[in-house]
């Protein structure tokens, strides 16, 4: 079912709940939002910090392999069937980091994205948890 609202929608209480994709369109294109209960997932790297992971959810947490922080940039691929070639990936360090990390999305393609990371400060052994969100994008 599609509901089109032309104008302003004001909701005070109770809050509105949307099951499925929520999208908006206008001059800036279409943006999908998926942050409700059940839309996320979690995965853990099992071999090294450059080991790829698979998590097919629009939001999630990646527990990195326990290792010492390094100032040398490294990368791993996240295979994710919800990712489109025009999507935007947001990354943040959620928890578990003793060192201070920089994160950068190196490439986004249909079905995957690459996480580049390095320690800006610190070389202690830690287990950072990286949180991501996929924002649906459109070129036209």
CATH of the domain at 59: 2.60.40
Interatomic CA distance for residues 90 and 136, integer angstroms: 11
Q: Which domain holds residue 84?
A: 22-135
Domain total in the chain: 1
Using CA atoms in the order 81, 30, 103, 109, what is the torsion angle rounded to 10 degrees? Answer: 40
Beta bridge partner(s), residue 117: 74, 103
Q: Angle at CA 87, nearest 5°, toward 103 and 117?
A: 10
Interatomic CA distance for residues 59 and 63, integer angstroms: 14
Task: Report if residue 12 sits inside a domain.
Answer: no
Task: Report if residue 6 sits inside a domain.
Answer: no
pTM of the model: 0.76
Task: Report if residue 8 sits inside a domain.
Answer: no
Task: Report if residue 73 sits inside a domain.
Answer: yes
The low-confidence residues of the chain, meaning pLDDT below 70, are 1-36
What's residue 86's pLDDT? 96
Task: Report if residue 3 sits inside a domain.
Answer: no
């Amino acid at each position: 079912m599609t509901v089109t609202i032309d104008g302003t929608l004001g909701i005070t209480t109770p809050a509105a709940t949307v099951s499925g994709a929520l999208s908006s369109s206008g001059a800036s294109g279409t943006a999908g939002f998926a942050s409700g209960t059940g839309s996320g997932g979690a995965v853990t790297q099992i071999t090294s910090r450059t080991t790829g992971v698979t998590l097919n959810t629009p939001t999630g947490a990646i527990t990195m392999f326990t290792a010492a922080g390094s100032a040398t940039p490294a990368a791993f691929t996240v295979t994710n069937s919800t990712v489109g070639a025009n999507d935007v990936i947001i990354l943040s360090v959620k928890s578990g980091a003793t060192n201070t990390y920089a994160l950068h999305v190196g490439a986004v393609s249909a079905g995957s994205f690459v996480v580049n990371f390095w320690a800006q400060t610190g070389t202690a052994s830690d287990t950072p948890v990286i949180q991501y969100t996929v924002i649906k994008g459109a070129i036209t």
